[in-house]
Structure 1
Amino acid sequence: LNHDMTLAEFKFIWYMEYSHRMWGRVVGLAYILPAAYFWRRGWLSRPLKGRVLALCGLVCFQGLLGWYMVKSGLEEKPDSYDIPRVSQYRLAAHLGSALVLYSASLWTGLSLLLPRHKLPETHQLLRLRQYAHGTTALIFLTALSGAFVAGLDAGLVYNSFPKMGERWIPDDLLAFSPVLRNIFENPTTVQFDHRILGIASVTAVTALYLFSRKIPLPRRTRMAVTSLLAMACMQ
């Protein structure tokens, strides 16, 4: 396998993986050591202690998931001669856990650094908050679908847009049986779903931005929504 790989190419892959593992350990220490120090000094409030414990637990869980994911790529499959690859399910779990950890860390940090604005609970504000939560869930789902694209090399199946080849809906979209299996294991379906979710996410973010312009919001909230739209378009 990979007999044509040069030593330089192998070193590049090895150092990429090694750096990722070392960086993960640095992140773990950056969480756990300061948390233990602040806890011992009594600088954490009771609610914050719960968050800190949850974040440290997520860090450990993330490392465990990473090991579990890599392990799937090293398992021998006697009946398969495919290129060794990690499980797309475990890859999606690893990415999803990382997104949850990052989001929770950012939310915790901002809640400590920035005072919360007291806004009147109007009907429009409630609708905006609900829509923002829905958009967040959609973006999260889109990111997870990207992990399935990466895990199956589904991005190599069709490289034309907006059509997939010569068709809007490819013939092999539901080639696997049972049908539900296509969503997670058929590269064509996985790429198709990721395209649809990506378009839906950009549309949802745009609608969120337009809706937010109709409501009097604090300056930093407007900046956050505008930045979200800019990043969605860039992505």
Structure 2
Amino acid sequence: MNSNTINVYPSSLKPSITSSSSYNYSTTVFNHPEEQQKFEEEIPGRKAVLIWLGTLSFLVFTIVIVGGLTRLEEGGLSMVDWSFMGSLPPITQKEWEEEFEKYKQFPEYKKKNEGMTVEEFKYIFYYEYYHRMLGRLIGAVYTIPAIAFAAKGFFSGKRRVMSPWTVLAIGSVIGFQGLLGWYMVKSGLDENHELMKKYNSIPRVSQYRLASHLCTAFVIYAMTLWKSFDLATKNKTVETFAGSSIFKMVAPIFFSLVFLTAASGAFVAGMDAGLVYNEFPLMGGAVVPSDIMAIEPWYKNFFENATTVQFQHRWLATFVATAIAAFCFYFKKGDKGKQLPATVKKSLNYLLAVVTAQYTLGITTLLTYVPTSVASAHQAGSLTLFTFALWMAHVAKRIR
């Protein structure tokens, strides 16, 4: 054992450390259950860091839902100023009128909301305001505990709970997300933006930037939640079972496909593509609609043709839902299902239940012409499905 390794156990209880650092939940291997129990008792800070990461995960989940509501209620372009620290919303009638006058100078009011009242403006303004304030809260909830935990040595030395590079990576992506949010909003405030001019569309943010913004939120959520799973489970191994090699290989693929489906959904939201064809499974009376490749060059249809964007999202979702259902039933049937470890069985049951609910919500959203309540539930469902797909991938990682 190197000089950096904890050496407080009798030889019969020493864990095998595969990392040069004192302790790392993702690289510690125990030969016997009593070794793991003894070792865990000696690590301070695990619960505190777990609560911190769990809180960040919850806040990111919340801001994604609020961001979706802001998009659905069309409030994303109501705040035309940017302040790093943020500020109080307008309070007096005069302040509201001044804020409203700023909004009137931009294309969304000129081309879409001309004649809007101050009271109507307040309604959309608050969605964007709370969305931005949540973003700043996430920044504070990350930064203050991270500094405190670093001072306590939870990211280095003998008390290390997680890698400092992981902590820095999470913080860097959070900072990047804030900048990306303003970059996204900026595209909707510019009446000379390429996409707005090209398609003579109503003012909206670039679907490319919207998808990037949402995907980055998913990345932050995945980073914090994965490490939360590490700490919550203490990386206890899962026993092998019949077909475990298939499970280990396929689980991360499903996680990637769920992420890809969510990204395609961001393009649907960014282009209001859910309102193009409100029937299922056909589109305009056909499986493949006639205007699916109406834009030149052909490859831009996948990102700028609302028909194609809806088509690829609905059929990617259908493929993923069907594949997950087949995967789950394969492992749950007969003797194979009876022999599954409890953790594996739970991950399959929950993933199947959530993907079924999410697929049903997606169809309902289409058939009901994208009402805010159903569409918001569908977006929450996408992140919930992402959560359970990530959990199954984490279970797969811990199989012996």
TM-score (norm 2): 0.56
In structure 2, what is the Cα distance between the partners aligned to 1:221 and 1:26?
35
Aligned-residue offset at 1:217: 3.8
The corresponding residue for 1:39 is: 150
1:233 to 350, 356, 367: 356
Aligned-residue offset at 1:149: 0.5
The corresponding residue for 1:190 is: 309
The corresponding residue for 1:5 is: 116
Instruction: Answer with 1 or 2: which has the greater Rg.
Output: 2
Q: Unmatched 5+ residue regions in structure 1?
A: none
The corresponding residue for 1:143 is: 262
Q: Tell which deviates more after alignment, 220-229 or 193-202.
A: 220-229
Within a 5 Å distance, the mapping from 1:43-82 to structure 2 comes to 43-44=154-155, 45=160, 47-77=162-192, 80=197, 81-82=200-201
Alpha-carbon displacement from aligned partner over 1:81-137 (angstroms, at most 9, x marks no partner): 531110101111111111111011111011112132324556721211211111111
Alpha-carbon displacement from aligned partner over 1:180-224 (angstroms, at most 9, x marks no partner): 010010000000000011101211221232233236443233223
In structure 1, what is the Cα distance between the partners aligned to 2:131 and 2:301?
31
Pick 1 or 2: higher relative contact order, CA cutoff 8 A, min separation 6.
Answer: 2
The corresponding residue for 1:18 is: 129
The corresponding residue for 1:155 is: 274
Q: Tell which deviates more after alignment, 133-142 or 116-125.
A: 116-125
Within a 5 Å distance, the mapping from 1:70-149 to structure 2 comes to 70-77=185-192, 80=197, 81-120=200-239, 124-149=243-268
The corresponding residue for 2:33 is: none
Within a 5 Å distance, the mapping from 1:181-220 to structure 2 comes to 181-213=300-332, 214=336, 216-220=339-343
User: Is the partner of 1:174 in helix, strand or coil?
Assistant: coil
What is the root-mean-square deviation of aligned Cα atoms in Å?
1.9
In structure 1, what is the Cα distance between the partners aligned to 2:165 and 2:330?
35
**Kindly tell me: are residues 123 and 222 of structure 1, through their superposed partners in 2, closer, same or farther at Cα, counting changes over 3 Å?**
closer
TM-score (norm 1): 0.93
In structure 2, what is the Cα distance between the partners aligned to 1:19 and 1:25?
10
Count residues with an aligned counterpart.
235
Query: Normalized per residue, which structure has more helix?
Result: 1
| Paired-residue identity, % | 46
User: Is the partner of 1:171 in helix, strand or coil?
Assistant: coil
In structure 2, what is the Cα distance between the partners aligned to 1:120 and 1:223?
14
